[in-house]
Amino acid sequence: MQKEIELVREKIRLACDRAGRDSETVLLLGVSKTKPYSALQEAYSYGIHDFGENKVQEIREKYEMMREDSLMKDCPPHFHMIGTLQKIK
């Protein structure tokens, strides 16, 4: 996962250079929907602190786990709604 994140960051940097924009102004959002908590922990450890979900229930569950995680106490993650809001079926 680390190599993929680094590759995306490099693509963002190159695109921003071409556009004359500061790459620090771009938010890299990890899409966490359908991913296990361990994947979020790994992404967080590589600097991804913003995650996208399309189910409120998933946000609640993952946020509670992350809030209690000692790795994330000083810098809690942020969740963003992405796509169409889904409901439990």
d(CA 49, CA 29): 8
Residue 77 carries which DSSP code? Answer: -
Kindly list the distances between the CA atom of residue 33 and the CA atoms of 12, 18, 63, 78, 89, in Å, as whole numbers in the listed order.
22, 31, 12, 14, 16
pLDDT band at residue 89 using 50, 70 and 90 as cut-offs: low
Report which DSSP code applies to 26: S
pLDDT tens digit string along 4-25? 999 999 999 999 999 999 999 9
pLDDT in tens, 42-73: 999 999 999 999 888 888 888 888 878 877 77
